[in-house]
Structure 1
Amino acid sequence: MSPIGDSLPVEGIFDALASIDVAVAIYDRNDCVVAVSPYYRSMFPEEELTVGLSYRDALQRFAQRHDRVRVLGYPDMESYLDAEIKRHRTPYAHQVYKLASGRWIESRKVPLPDGGIVGLWRDITVQKDAEAAMLRSKEASDLASRAKADFLALMSHELRTPLNAVIGFAQLLERSSGTMPVETMGEYAGLIRSSGEQLLQTINDILDLTRLAGNGANIPMALVQLDAVTATCMRIAEPFARPRQVTLLDEVPEGLPPLRADAASLRRMITHLMSNAVKMSLAGSRVSLTAERLPDGGLAVVVADDGPGMTPAQIQAAMQPFTQNDEVRSRRMSGAGIGLPLIKTLIELHGGRLVLDSAPGRGTRARLEFPPATVAN
């Protein structure tokens, strides 16, 4: 058994450290290798660390093999070598780094009484992977908790607002004891009805989004005349657009072929898109509804507005259920953030896709693209 320094039993220590997966290399006071543990050679077979090799030469080989100069941001090899040798000579220096292969290594340098240095290395890739998995799990948990809180705040607002209107106007009617003018009673009754319809629509959207997003969902398909459906959608949207002073333009061309689709779902998708466009439009602006054949033989229904537009991040957020681009407590627009995800689900059940073309300051074009198989030629 060969000794180092004060009769250090090297082979015995090597064997003991190998049992706990620690690689060892011993350097003399001139930073030349005097001993390398068998476990080091199995842990780093590519390093070819041999007795007599200087630490600087070994470090340069390591840097070239793992691209350490670039990875660590050093200007050149000499700068890297000088810094790492200084770290090597620092008593009890500790370092954790990731190799180009993806392995994580922990190293320690321990001084010897004769001026030499013992280098200790452990592969901690499994530990690092476990830490990363725990971090991802925590982030997912935090995201789920935030989504739950946002959903509850959003639903609280969207359900309580029409309910408060229903209760408030009903109380006014109740307290009038029949003395309220007929015109006012009719107005209040209409407000109660519209608030109830808004509440029912929100609940139906939530239930339908949950149902249709499930596995095996299907909807009945039949040949429908697109221009008849779009005309109905225009009539539905008109009372909503008029008080907001938004002009609706029906630009759907005549002579379009029938579309194999679910008429109710088609009407719902277009109506939702027009409602969104009207809500985002300023007074005096326009919302257009048109349709066009696609180069592949499919067909697209397009709703365009002159609103503020959206960034790519806002578009991505808008496609997520129960999400709005404005903060929940300070948003300007009403809505439960269900419309676009529901439209996306419905169009995908038709084999098509929803495409939003938008940018800040230039409005939004929402396209319902139906595949050629749904178009009757």
Structure 2
Amino acid sequence: MNPNHCSELASGVSERIASLRRSAGELLFWHAGAAVCAYDADDRLLLWNDRYVDFFPEVASVLRPGLHFCDTVAPFLRLQHPKADDAEIEAGVAAALDRHRRLEGPLRYQRGDDGRWLELRMFPQPDGGRIKVWTDVTIEQMPRTDDVGMLELLTVGHVGLIVHDATGALVYTNSRYFSEMFLHVLTTLPDIRRREVNGPYWSVFHEMFGDHADYLALCASRGRGALASPATLHARTGRWFRIAEQPWRGGIASVWTDVTDLLERKEALKAAYADVLALNVQLRDRAETDSLTGLPNR
């Protein structure tokens, strides 16, 4: 056979394979169950599929080619954190942009509005751009336990829960709570898939609590098992959290509660009590002293 003819056949096959790959990629882009969008090297939106709008309806009204990544994140954060002020949203956008540029995933998180679990994978491109793919992993993420009803209640309640089994493997976490409380200050997500020695485990929450003294004491611990007593930690968000732990089926159940309002009321009561004491001192002085002469009353 003519070598040139063989070369032409091989070239034709290669082109056909490349064409099929492009066609398959286009079909998957428009018809697969995943949400897909692409950004250029300057973090500007290039294109997206219909599933992206299904996954993130809050940005549907602002989507357009050339839209900066930050302008797609801000509406999502405002939906996830309705009580956040402008400064908190701005900090959340900056943290999200950092994750967008550095991480590849997979990352899993839970939407605050409908409770869906999404897994995000990011694929850097040779030109500096980035393709992002989200899949709905809600069914996969459902806890394999008989206590599904109770866990669902905790998910919609205002309580954080992290459960590890007897081997130290993560069994359950209601990520919606932690997303609402901390996502806007995180540049990376804490890896809590395993819990063994306490110190290294607590160290993964450093972006949440920074250098707060009681938190650093937890990081220095070399013990194992549940905390002997509840810890009250001051987060970088300005909120206070009480973390109480109990043994659970050989593992550990860790319950996080926002106690900021409780502590603020406690401090307000202390301040009011101090004011009352000061007023009593003034009243006693006035009762025992002549207001005109300043001499003690007889």
TM-score (norm 1): 0.34
Structure with greater Cα Rg: 1
